[in-house]
Structure 1
Amino acid sequence: MASAVATAPVPAPAGSRRRIPPWAWALPPVAVLGLVFLYPLALVVQQSFRPDTGGTSAQAYGDVFASTAFREALGTTVWLAVGSTAGCLVLGFALALVIAFVPFPGGKAVARFIDVFLSFPSFLITLALLFLYGSVGIANGLWTDATGTAEGPFRFLTTPWGVLLAEITYFTPFVMRPLLAAFSNIETAQLEVASSLGARPARIVRQVILPEALPALAAGGSLVLVLCLNEFGIVLFTGAKGVTTLPMLVYSKAILESDYPGACVVAVVNVLISVGLYGLYRVVSRRAGA
């Protein structure tokens, strides 16, 4: 005689429970990123196609690209960024060599100060240069006191060369930081062997140190190039009225001229250039192991 036996449900193993898929964990940060960063960027792109007369049109792009002000600002931005990057590479390499391979009292403190310097705002360095070389700065004051003239000779801060000096002063530590990290991995035995074989210091730098430093130089130079292309505070605080970069042109069109479509067009161009160079920086830094 068969009898029905009631059995209690067997609980599923812990490993077979339904888990939250990995992609679901990415939704909250992606949503925050989209709301905070991508949505404002999309609004800028959208506004660049919205003329003041209404509707949708690419006329603002044609007007901006055809304007002399945009072409001059683009050229000024590029040559200032390239010139500043070249200056930072040369000066940063020389200073990093001294800090890494020339023993002197306080060398470690100087190396640590570089990390602190990276946190300084750019306008602070510009203000310091104004105190030194401005029209009423220390250098001009000493000159007028010594010669009795009404004005000093130092007027370069309000020129493109003043902007170039300020950017090189501020961004050089961004090159020195990866260089010092690269120099710390160089075996001192290599330098000693090269020196014992009669190699002069210049040859040691060229054939032993420089090949090891090239990836760090490329990574630091790429980062400085991106930062210089988007620098606004240095140009503004130097008071160089004849120097108009792309960020300054965005400010001028949006705030002074109330040309919001034109400002958005310039901003879109600036973003595209910056993203392209940042992609290059990431590739170089990945190969450099930075």
Structure 2
Amino acid sequence: MSDLLTAEAYAEEADVRRFPVLRAILAERSARTGLILVGVVVLAALLAPVAAALTGHGPDQQFRSEALAENGLPIGPSAHFLLGADGNGRDVLVRTLYGARISLLVGIPATTLALVAGTAVGLVAGFFPGRTDRLLSLGTDVALSFPFVVTALSLVALNRGGDGEPVVDPVLLVVLVISLFAWTYFARLTRGLVVVLRNRPFVEAALSIGVSRRRLIVREILPNVLPVVAVYWAVQLPVNILAEATLSFLGVGVQAPTASWGNMIAEAQRSSLYQVQPWFLLGPGIAMFVTVLGFNAIGSGIRNVLDPQG
């Protein structure tokens, strides 16, 4: 009889914990604002080829005779170049839109890969105390001890073949470099959550009625962890987008002539042409600001829903 009551208590608590949060998140003002901003950026990235077709300006095409003045300086915004041109006569608007593709193509997979790896490590480390926890925590600390920029520089140097061409696609390499560091934060967060959850009554009740540890982790612990991890995903994503921009700015990320916000800002800074044509710098800068603001607003909205007292 006591086992039956325990099972009923376990089932009742499990049902209570499975609450619908999506509708509440969509009703939260910060989340809606963030979704609108991110939606605009995603739409702009998807419509980049349309903008290129309408203007007749490819992201890497140079129009020196049309976009550069007689003294060789880039022109400002005009009817043919809505955000002006860069020092090579390329359309800043078109390159900014294509740069959004690179930032999202790097940021979303890198953050998602880090979430999957870090959550898996954190679940195991938090649920199995002792040697397993110590080894995984030590591995996390070792990964955190590597400097981000120096490691990226080393990996990029090792990525050169005998002919000087990259062995692995630079975009894929940047995704791997960023996720190599970002997973550690997800692992620490998840471990801390699981350490608290493993002593909760529903876990003890599940173990008492013979629920396997694997099933308990996947079916009960993980659903409790995922909402918090989802908040952190939304917070970490703009950080990783900035990390890609930083690597490209330093010349070790996405390489020119491929358009990315980081190498566009780096080119504007190196040439100082933004003093003549400010949209050369403002275009990618504002786009990056809107993207980061949007994802931060989403993360804030999710946090408000899940932890209204925080």
TM tier relative to shorter chain: 0.5 to 0.7
Query: Is the CA contact 2:149–2:247 (under 8 Å) kept in the aligned structure 1?
Result: yes
Which of the residues 241, 247, 255 maps onto 1:234?
Answer: 247
2:121 alignment counterpart: 95
Q: How does 1:65-76 map to 2 (within 5 A)?
A: 67-76=93-102
What amino acid is the match of 2:231? A
Local SS of the residue matching 2:131: coil
Size of the alignment, in residue pairs?
Answer: 220
Name 2:188's counterpart in structure 1: 177
Give the Cα–Cα distance (whole angstroms) in 2 for the partners of residues 109 and 237 of structure 1. 36
1:141-180 alignment runs, 5 A limit: 155-156=167-168, 159-180=170-191
CA distance in 1, matches of 2:181, 2:102: 19
3-state SS in 1 of match to 2:255? coil
Rg bigger for which structure?
A: 1
Residue 148 of structure 2 aligns with which residue?
122
AA aligned to 1:85 is T
Cα displacement (A) at 1:213 = 0.4
Alignment of 1:182-261 (within 5 A): 182-188=193-199, 190-231=202-243, 232-235=245-248, 236=250, 238=252, 240-241=254-255, 244-256=259-271, 258-260=273-275, 261=278
Q: CA deviation at 1:271?
A: 1.2
Of residues 114-123 and 200-209 in structure 1, the stretch that sits farther from structure 2 once superposed is 114-123
Report how far residue 111 of structure 1 moved.
3.2
Structure 1, gaps ≥5 residues long: 1-51, 137-149
Encode CA deviations 1:69-117: one digit per residue, 9 max, x unaligned.
Answer: 2221111111211111111111111111122123453734753774786
**1: CA distance between counterparts of 2:94 and 2:253?**
22
Residue 185 of structure 1 aligns to a residue whose secondary structure is helix
* Segment drifting more, 105-114 vs 224-233: 105-114
Superposition TM-score, scaled by structure 1 size: 0.62
Q: CA RMSD in A?
A: 3.6
* 1:30 counterpart residue number: none
Contact kept, 8 Å, 1:215 with 1:287, in 2: the verdict is: no
Deviation of the 1:216 alpha carbon: 2.0
| Distance (Å, rounded) in 1 between the aligned partners of 2:253 and 2:105 | 19
> Relative contact order, CA 8 A, sep 6+: which one is greater?
2
Indicate how the Cα distance of structure 1 residues 129 and 62 shifts in structure 2: closer, same or farther if over 3 A, else same: closer
Shift of 1:220: 1.6
TM-score (norm. length: structure 2) = 0.58
Identity %: 17
1:179 and 1:217 in contact (8 A); partners too: yes
- Listed as ranges, the gaps of 5+ residues in structure 2 are 1-68, 70-75, 86-90
Tell me the residue number matched to 1:142.
Answer: none
CA deviation after TM superposition for structure 1 residue 218, in Å: 1.4
